[in-house]
Amino acid sequence: MRLLTIPILLLCFAVTMVQAQEEFVPPPAKKIAQFPFRLLTGGIILIKARLSNFPDTLNFVLDTGSGGISLDSTTADYLKITTQLSDRTIRGIAGVRRVFFSYGQTLHLPNLAVENLDFHINDYDVLTSAYGEKIDGIIGLSFLSRYILKIDYDSLAISVYTKGTFKYPRGGFLLKPFIQTIPILNANIKDNRPLASRFYFDTGAGMCLLLSADFVSDSNFVKPKRKWYATQAEGLGGKAPMKQGVIKQLQLGPFRFKNVPTYIFDDEFNVTQYPALAGLVGNDLLRRFNLILNYERKDIYMIPNSHYREQFDYSYTGLGMYVVDGEIQVVDIMPESPAEQAGFKPGDIIMGVANNFSNNIQTYKNLMQTPGERLRILVLRKDGPYQLTLKVKNILTGR
């Protein structure tokens, strides 16, 4: 009897173990759509879509830093969309405001209709002027939370999957960010001293890294002799002054980047949520990975792509130019900047850069991204054309 008891007990134990490992497994995620995108200056993702029954194709920025989905106010007026003032407010780099909404709209992407979306209405004129392309809206959480997205910067294509089990490919790293509205990740940074902190994961930010000025001041993080240059950035509510420079290192998971271009932002409206967060990681760094966004599982999977080892943009001109009435116009000139030294004046109309007369602001900005380059720039003033010479400064070397 004793010999028979042992295998019976082992069998019972084995059955118990099998039962303990049982769990519900969701069905596999299915690919339901794929569509192309373009990259604007700084790595901004621009996709085309239609809104509800309107035939016009619109330009939307795909932005993990948006807690909803939005439509430009001039686009809403053009389409004669009915809007309602809400009691909700939104914050951006240059302001806080109550917002109008347009409820129950449908977003039409290639082979995919996303229904029952509530668009908040915002003014994106400054973004349109900065990029030289009409920015009709921003796609954020309201879309991202419904699907699994694969963003491939090598093929410039976005694949959309239903929610479900998803096998991540080999060779990447799984981030486990906190996601309530905007993903928040842990990262290690180093300059005057090493620090671990938390940052927004923001594909809608055309930069590598942004730090709150309060964080920089309280943490004594930046090297005291580090040189910073006056600049500005565009966002909700308009433009905001910032400082531009580099920090020694940024690490995401196992991936380390040295001499990272960085902005320091005097965050009057606490967009960066200091002291809970130190700032944000933007898409000029994130575009170096192909990304899988799985908000339901709170997963962001990063795979280094062909852009991983591309050199960072260390250029600095201090020249703020925007498209105004179809012309590329100089609006802002930072004090003591290469633009000021070259003799630019507010109101100058840029006719050509380095023998390029395309009147394309993206092209001109790209031509100004080679540190050390001396560029001949043709500008038009009331009293006629002038040729100016702009030397692009290198923020890494200070020359």
Identify the domain boundary among 161, 185, 200.
Answer: 161
Q: Could you tell me if 153 and 181 lie in one domain?
A: no
Q: Could you tell me if 346 and 271 lie in one domain?
A: no
Does residue 298 lie in a domain region?
A: no
Does residue 252 lie in a domain region?
A: yes
Q: Could you tell me if 74 and 115 lie in one domain?
A: yes
Quick one: CA dihedral 242, 246, 249, 255, positive or negative?
A: positive
Q: What is the pLDDT along the chain (399 residues), one digit of tens a residue?
A: 333 333 333 333 344 444 455 666 789 999 999 999 999 999 999 999 999 999 999 999 999 999 999 999 999 999 999 999 887 766 655 556 678 999 999 999 999 999 999 999 999 999 999 999 999 999 999 999 999 999 999 999 999 999 999 999 999 999 999 998 999 999 999 999 999 999 999 999 999 999 999 999 999 999 999 999 999 876 655 678 899 999 999 999 999 999 999 999 888 777 888 999 999 999 999 999 999 999 999 999 999 999 999 999 999 999 999 999 999 999 999 999 999 999 999 999 999 999 999 999 999 999 999 999 999 999 999 999 999 999 999 999 988
Identify the domain boundary among 161, 194, 217.
Answer: 161
Q: Could you tell me if 237 and 343 lie in one domain?
A: no
What is the SS3 assignment for 158?
strand
Does residue 357 lie in a domain region?
A: yes
Residue 128 phi, psi dihedral angles, 5° rounding? -60, -45
Q: Are 320 and 335 in contact (CB under 8 A)?
A: no
CATH number of the domain that residue 367 is part of: 2.30.42.10
For the chain, the maximum distance between any two Cα atoms, rounded to a whole number of angstroms, is: 112
What is the SS3 assignment for 309?
coil
Length of the chain in terms of residues written: 399
What is the SS3 assignment for 137?
strand
What is the SS3 assignment for 213?
helix
What distances in angstroms separate CA 30 from CA 176, 266, 294, one per listed residue?
Answer: 22, 44, 13
Q: Is 372 left (phi over 0), alpha (psi -120 to 50) or beta?
A: left
Identify the domain boundary among 114, 130, 161.
Answer: 161
CB-side neighbour CA atoms (13 Å) of 55: 0
What is the SS3 assignment for 45?
strand
Does residue 196 lie in a domain region?
A: yes
Give this prediction's pTM: 0.89
Amino acid residing at 9: L
Q: Could you tell me if 246 and 337 lie in one domain?
A: no
- Two structure tokens written together for 108: 């039409």
Query: Among residues 310, 374, 313, which one has the least CA distance to residue 341?
Result: 374
Distance CA 116, CA 98 (A): 22
Q: Could you tell me if 137 and 181 lie in one domain?
A: no
| Residues 6 or more apart whose Cβ sits within 8 Å of residue 32 | 111, 112, 147, 160, 161, 162
Q: Could you tell me if 213 and 140 lie in one domain?
A: no
| Residues 6 or more apart whose Cβ sits within 8 Å of residue 387 | 376, 377, 378, 379
Q: Could you tell me if 331 and 355 lie in one domain?
A: yes
Distance CA 141, CA 366 (A): 30
Q: Could you tell me if 271 and 319 lie in one domain?
A: no
* Number of helical (H) and strand (E) elements in the chain, helices listed first: 8, 29
Q: Could you tell me if 204 and 263 lie in one domain?
A: yes
Q: Could you tell me if 153 and 56 lie in one domain?
A: yes
Q: Are 199 and 278 in contact (CB under 8 A)?
A: yes
Q: Could you tell me if 142 and 36 lie in one domain?
A: yes
pLDDT at 11: 35
Which pairing describes strands 194-202 and 209-212: parallel, antiparallel, or unpaired? unpaired
Does residue 1 lie in a domain region?
A: no
Does residue 291 lie in a domain region?
A: no
Quick one: CA dihedral 130, 134, 50, 157, positive or negative?
A: negative
Does residue 53 lie in a domain region?
A: yes
Count the domains in the chain.
3
Distance CA 139, CA 143 (A): 7
SS3 content of the chain, % helix, strand, coil (to 5): 15, 50, 35
Does residue 16 lie in a domain region?
A: no
Please give the residue range of the domain that contains residue 267.
173-285
CATH number of the domain that residue 90 is part of: 2.40.70.10
Buried (b) or exposed (e) across 354-387, using 16+ Cβ within 10 A? Answer: beeeebebbebbebbeebeeebebbbbeeeeeee
